[in-house]
Amino acid sequence: MYPLCIYLNILATMKSSKYVEAQELVALTKKYRQEAGKTRAQAARDMGIRQPSIFHAEESPEQSFTKLRCRMIEAYSNLKVSGPFFRIDEK
């Protein structure tokens, strides 16, 4: 089985792309929220959800908050997140 990957398309002058494991989204979510100067409460208001969901998206990699993590990364950075992708190979 191949790992679930999320495709990050970095929207800069020179576009580049990077594949990351779904687990890496946890750290990126928190990093970009903090860099944007937002508290968890502010992020919850921005996303239209309750604050515990922000906490779990950032601190609980075992829980499935992939869509929220992608929304937060896109809201607080210059990145576009596409995915998930699965790799399928011939046997």
Task: Answer yes or no: is 91 within a domain.
Answer: no
| Structural domain boundaries, residue 35 | 5-85
Task: Answer yes or no: is 90 within a domain.
Answer: no
Overall number of domains in the chain: 1
Task: Answer yes or no: is 12 within a domain.
Answer: yes
66: domain CATH number is: 1.10.260.40
Each residue's pLDDT tens digit, 15-26: 678 888 888 999
CA-CA-CA-CA dihedral for 33, 37, 39, 40, to nearest 10:
-10
Q: Which residue has 């950032």 as its token pair? A: 58
Q: Which two tokens stand for residue 46?
A: 């921005």
Each residue's pLDDT tens digit, 56-78: 999 999 999 999 999 999 999 99
